[in-house]
């Protein structure tokens, strides 16, 4: 009997090739999209989970705020914490909490010029790390002893890729690397490359004892920020009990900590990538909102694919009605007919699943490149294969239930007499399903319009400085370069294409420190704050085209500027109590051993991406040893020729350092890479959703025209035109799309409003975004239905009425 079901099902599918192809295409594309989105979400949720002790690893979040002279500060909001903190918190944790097994700390990435033999490269992603690193994290050491690799003075652990870069196939352990032409590091270990699904990534670790040798004083400063602190607890430890003792920990260890200027909390490692709201992260972070959005899209696509299946199956009901009538007349039971039609449905579903897997395997490299994620590669598809087949079986059964019950329920007498009519409830169901399909499609189209508008808003927003034709040369703070920085700037400026040159520690979009800064407030009291810090030279403000809000910028005409003056931005002026920037001019300040007066306030400019509000910033003339970059403002023209000539000049005046450059607009735009990837993927899946919905509409149009074929013939005999008949057939479906639009617009407006709330600088929702989605849906529906309607209207009435 089962074999008979399969044979009849297979023959039926082959006999109706067009319907079969449409059904398989819709389900396959829907399953493929759902599968790819599942792999994406799986990758997002996998960050840092590969560590053996991941559930037992936490990190310290710290907050540094301006003390309140009158009362204790309330607990910080989640976004007031930052991951970047001070050094003494690590040893203090281990001393205060007996539950803490291991503590490790990293510094922020450093830039070094590494040399071995004739190989010399500038590395910008090497950090200092504690010896307990390998006791907490599960990075495999390929050579060396994990217990001692980061204990040795002047020891460095390289990743496998970095070791191969310098030593090739030669054994790296014990080899010596020269650093910045000044000291040497010995390779004490080689580790596997840090997996892509880590919330931070480094190319190498230098022992923290080496850093301690250079700057021992900062390891006791609670106000100096340059460390990320992680710790591991025994399994089953209640982290809430540890957090309850934090106030006592702060009181015991931090001077004046009881007034709330310093606060800390603990965050699970598993929350670091998707759930953390803290600032100054050590690496990339994901978006939980995007995960929910993609998850919703996957559900929408799968739902629409199932609806298509149901609509296309019931659209064939008239064609198969006589078959059912004959089979019932000769004794077929309804249960056997249900089994027969369910078998067809499941076969179609499994064929679609196989096609979906093949399609996913084909497009997976493109999706990985577009998303910037590995998604597990083809191996991930193998792991999810059983689940895909299971889902295909469930989808086949669920999607085939209604058509099977409808077809098997036909009365043979009525069907064989030609008196069969579709039930009103069935018509309403099919129309309702189309409304659901197009509601989802319109919502996704409106969402796409909003997402594209927001991305364009971020990329075109006035940043408050000039970023076009700005060439940034990163020389890693080389002391020899800094000693003759003015001469090097002069040599580069003499090139006819260079219009201006400046040197600085940081440039917009790159790493910057914070600085403990005390400024005189309107009452004359000196109050402390921790604004971001840009260390710059005299030419930075004019070269970058930053406008002044009050006062003046630095000038070589004032001898005191190099040691006794400071610039702030408008946000920093407000931080110290000045709503009018001009009022802070002449006020006293103290910062990192320098005292003087504020001489100018620059207008707020976006030195970070537009994902964050402009934060308080101090701009101070840099000591020579603090500079890292040279920025050249070059005129538009033959960039390749200009860069080649500038490189020749550089190699002459700075022979010891490679010429490493980026264009500021390109490097700054990298901050929006995740937004661009999200927009591209969202738009593609929204387009595929609309495509699948159109298949469903085509199925319903087919069903409707087959029901009304004799009516169409009579109308043509009575003189109706092709256009009139096509319009009559299309009008019913356009009404459904309008209903869908009335449902989708308020729902998508609410959803996208919530999404935009995650951006401090966001586009305003406009009516045209939703009107455009509705108009596009109507056009798409009209084109889809018209194809079938016009074809039906052009059929000769002789053919449609010959059975009468």
Residue 640 vs residues 122, 353, 591, 645, 796: alpha-carbon distances, Å: 22, 50, 42, 9, 67
Strands 532-536 and 617-621: parallel
Name residue 120's beta-bridge partners. Answer: 115
Which ranges of 461-552 does DSSP label H, i.e. alpha helix? 479-483, 485-493, 540-544
The pLDDT of residue 416 is 56
The pLDDT of residue 331 is 63
Higher pLDDT, 695 or 460: 460
pLDDT at residue 6 tops 70: no
CB-based contact 542:631 (threshold 8 Å): no
Picking from 447, 452, 446, the residue whose alpha carbon sits closest to that of residue 293 is 447
Q: Per-residue DSSP letters for 39-91?
A: HHHHHHHTTTTTSTTGGGEEEEEEEE-PPPSSSPPPPPPGGG-BS-B-STHHH
pLDDT at residue 337 tops 90: no
Q: How many CA atoms lie within 13 A of 650 on its CB side?
A: 18
Main-chain dihedrals φ then ψ at residue 156, nearest 5 degrees: -140, 135
Q: How confident is the model at residue 403 (pLDDT cuts 50, 70, 90)?
A: low
pLDDT at residue 373 tops 60: yes
Q: Which two tokens stand for residue 569?
A: 């931005």
The pLDDT of residue 546 is 96
CB-based contact 576:584 (threshold 8 Å): yes
Cβ neighbours of 273 (radius 10 Å): 24
**Residue 13 CB partners (closer than 8 Å, separation 6+):** 20, 344, 347, 348
pLDDT at residue 415 tops 90: no
Q: How confident is the model at residue 17 (pLDDT cuts 50, 70, 90)?
A: low
Q: How confident is the model at residue 633 (pLDDT cuts 50, 70, 90)?
A: very high
Strands 470-474 and 110-116: unpaired
The three-state secondary structure class of 114 is strand
Strands 110-116 and 204-207: unpaired
Cβ neighbours of 339 (radius 10 Å): 16
pLDDT at residue 411 tops 70: no
Q: What is the pTM of this model?
A: 0.84
Q: Which two tokens stand for residue 647?
A: 């490189």
pLDDT at residue 680 tops 60: yes
Cα-only R_g, the chain: 34
Q: How confident is the model at residue 596 (pLDDT cuts 50, 70, 90)?
A: very high
The pLDDT of residue 724 is 73
Q: How confident is the model at residue 25 (pLDDT cuts 50, 70, 90)?
A: confident
Picking from 572, 605, 606, 603, the residue whose alpha carbon sits closest to that of residue 589 is 572
Residue 632 vs residues 361, 467, 492, 555, 670: alpha-carbon distances, Å: 46, 11, 8, 19, 20
H or E segment and range at residue 620: strand 617-621
* Structure confidence by residue, pLDDT tens digits, 637-657: 788 899 999 999 999 999 989
pLDDT at residue 418 tops 60: no
pLDDT at residue 62 tops 80: yes
* Structure confidence by residue, pLDDT tens digits, 707-740: 666 777 777 677 777 677 777 767 777 888 888 8
Burial class of residue 702 in the structure, from the number of CB atoms within 10 Å of its CB (0-12 exposed, 13-18 middle, 19+ buried): buried
Top mean pLDDT of 629-633, 710-714, 793-797 is at 629-633
Burial class of residue 740 in the structure, from the number of CB atoms within 10 Å of its CB (0-12 exposed, 13-18 middle, 19+ buried): buried
Q: What is the mean pLDDT of residues 107-114?
A: 92
The pLDDT of residue 621 is 95
Q: What is the mean pLDDT of residues 395-411?
A: 70
Strand residue runs (E) in 506-612: 517-520, 526-529, 532-536, 548-551, 565-569, 588-591, 594-602
The pLDDT of residue 685 is 85
pLDDT at residue 318 tops 60: no
pLDDT at residue 21 tops 90: no
Q: What percent of the chain stands above pLDDT 70?
A: 86
Q: Which two tokens stand for residue 55?
A: 């559930």
Q: What is the mean pLDDT of residues 557-570?
A: 94
Burial class of residue 743 in the structure, from the number of CB atoms within 10 Å of its CB (0-12 exposed, 13-18 middle, 19+ buried): middle
* Structure confidence by residue, pLDDT tens digits, 176-234: 999 988 889 999 999 999 998 999 999 999 999 999 998 899 999 888 888 999 999 99
Residue 647 vs residues 181, 492, 498: alpha-carbon distances, Å: 21, 9, 13
Q: How confident is the model at residue 783 (pLDDT cuts 50, 70, 90)?
A: confident
**Residue 769 CB partners (closer than 8 Å, separation 6+):** 446, 449, 450, 453
Higher pLDDT, 222 or 551: 551
Higher pLDDT, 372 or 708: 372
Strand residue runs (E) in 730-790: none
The pLDDT of residue 682 is 86
**Residue 271 CB partners (closer than 8 Å, separation 6+):** none
- What is the pLDDT of the chain when averaged over all its residues? 85
The pLDDT of residue 798 is 57
The pLDDT of residue 681 is 87
Q: How confident is the model at residue 57 (pLDDT cuts 50, 70, 90)?
A: very high
Top mean pLDDT of 95-104, 258-267, 295-304, 449-458 is at 95-104
Top mean pLDDT of 241-250, 508-517, 667-676 is at 241-250
Q: How confident is the model at residue 300 (pLDDT cuts 50, 70, 90)?
A: confident
Residue 34 is classified by DSSP as H
* Structure confidence by residue, pLDDT tens digits, 87-96: 999 999 999 9
Cβ neighbours of 15 (radius 10 Å): 10
pLDDT at residue 781 tops 80: no
pLDDT at residue 522 tops 60: yes
Higher pLDDT, 20 or 185: 185
647-654 CB contacts, 8 Å cutoff, 24+ apart: 649/491, 649/492, 649/495, 650/473, 650/492, 652/491, 653/484, 653/487, 653/488, 653/491, 654/475, 654/478, 654/480, 654/481, 654/488
């Amino acid at each position: 009997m089962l074999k008979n079901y399969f044979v009849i099902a297979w023959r039926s599918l082959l006999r109706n090739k067009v319907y079969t192809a449409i059904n398989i295409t819709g389900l396959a594309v829907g399953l493929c999209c759902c599968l790819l989105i599942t792999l994406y979400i799986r990758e997002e949720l996998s960050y840092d989970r590969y560590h053996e002790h991941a559930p037992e690893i936490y990190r310290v979040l710290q907050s540094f705020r301006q003390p309140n002279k009158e009362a204790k500060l309330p607990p910080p909001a989640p976004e007031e914490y930052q991951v970047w903190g001070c050094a003494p918190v690590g040893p203090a944790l281990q001393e205060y909490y007996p539950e803490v097994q291991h503590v490790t700390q990293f510094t922020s990435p450093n830039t070094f010029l590494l040399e071995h033999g004739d190989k010399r490269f500038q590395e910008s992603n090497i950090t200092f790390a504690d010896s307990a690193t390998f006791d907490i994290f599960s990075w495999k050491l390929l050579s060396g002893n994990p217990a001692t690799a980061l204990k040795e003075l002047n020891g460095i652990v390289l990743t496998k890729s970095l070791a191969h870069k310098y030593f090739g196939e030669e054994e790296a352990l014990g080899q010596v690397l020269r650093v910045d032409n000044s000291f040497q590091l010995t390779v004490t270990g080689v580790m596997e490359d840090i997996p892509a699904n880590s919330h931070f990534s480094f190319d190498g670790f230098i022992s923290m004892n080496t850093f301690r040798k250079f700057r021992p004083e900062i390891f006791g400063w609670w106000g100096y920020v340059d460390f990320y602190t992680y710790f591991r607890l025994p399994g089953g430890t209640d982290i809430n009990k540890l957090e309850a003792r934090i106030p006592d920990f702060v009181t015991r260890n931090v001077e004046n900590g009881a007034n709330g200027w310093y606060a800390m909390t603990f965050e699970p490692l598993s929350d670091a990538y998707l759930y953390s709201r803290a600032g100054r992260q050590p690496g990339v972070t994901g978006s939980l909102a995007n995960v929910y959005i993609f998850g919703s899209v996957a559900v929408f696509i799968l739902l629409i694919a199932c609806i298509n299946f149901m609509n296309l199956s019931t659209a064939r009901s008239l064609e198969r009605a006589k078959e059912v009538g004959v089979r019932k007349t000769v004794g077929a039971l309804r249960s056997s007919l249900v089994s027969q039609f369910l078998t067809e449905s499941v076969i179609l579903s499994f064929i679609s699943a196989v096609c979906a897997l093949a399609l996913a395997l084909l497009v997976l490299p493109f999706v990985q490149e577009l998303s910037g994620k590995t998604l597990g590669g083809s191996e991930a598809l193998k792991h999810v294969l059983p689940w895909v087949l299971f889902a295909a079986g469930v989808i086949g059964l669920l999607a085939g239930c209604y058509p099977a019950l409808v077809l098997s329920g036909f009365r043979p007498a009525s069907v064989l007499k030609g008196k069969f009519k579709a039930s009103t409830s069935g018509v309403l169901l099919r129309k309702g399903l189309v409304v659901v399909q197009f509601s989802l499609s319109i919502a996704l189209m409106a969402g796409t319009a909003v997402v594209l508008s927001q991305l364009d808003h971020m990329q075109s927003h006035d940043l408050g400085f000039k970023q076009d034709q700005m060439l940034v040369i990163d020389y890693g703070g080389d002391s020899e370069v800094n000693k003759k920085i003015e001469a090097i700037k002069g040599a580069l400026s003499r090139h006819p294409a260079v219009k201006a040159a400046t040197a600085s520690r940081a440039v917009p979009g790159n790493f910057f420190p914070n600085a403990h800064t005390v400024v005189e407030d309107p009452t004359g009291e000196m109050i402390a704050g921790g604004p971001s810090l840009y260390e710059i030279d005299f030419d930075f403000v004019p070269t970058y085209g930053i406008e002044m809000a009050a006062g003046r910028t630095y000038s070589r005409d004032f001898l005191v500027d190099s040691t006794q003056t400071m610039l702030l931005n408008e946000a920093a002026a407000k931080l110290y109590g000045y709503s009018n920037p001009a009022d802070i001019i002449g006020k006293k300040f103290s910062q990192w051993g320098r005292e003087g007066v504020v001489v100018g306030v620059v207008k707020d400019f976006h030195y970070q991406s537009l994902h964050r509000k402009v934060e308080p910033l101090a701009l101070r003339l840099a000591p020579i040893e603090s500079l890292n970059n040279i920025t050249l403002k070059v005129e538009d023209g033959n960039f390749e020729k200009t860069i080649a000539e500038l490189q020749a000049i550089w190699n002459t005046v700075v022979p010891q350092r490679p010429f490493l450059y980026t264009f500021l607009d390109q490097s700054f735009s990298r901050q929006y890479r995740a937004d661009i990837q999200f927009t591209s993927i969202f738009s593609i899946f929204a387009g595929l959703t609309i495509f699948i919905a159109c298949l469903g509409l085509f199925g319903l149009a087919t069903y409707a025209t087959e029901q009304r074929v004799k009516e169409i013939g009579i109308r043509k005999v009575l003189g109706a035109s092709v256009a009139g008949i096509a319009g009559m057939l299309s009008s019913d479906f356009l009404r459904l799309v309008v209903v869908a639009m009335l449902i989708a617009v308020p729902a998508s407006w609410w959803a996208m409003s919530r999404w935009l709330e995650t951006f401090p600088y966001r586009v305003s929702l406009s009516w045209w975004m939703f009107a455009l989605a509705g108009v596009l849906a109507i056009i798409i529906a009209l084109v889809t239905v018209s194809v079938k309607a016009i074809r039906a209207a052009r059929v000769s009435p002789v053919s449609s009425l010959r059975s009468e």
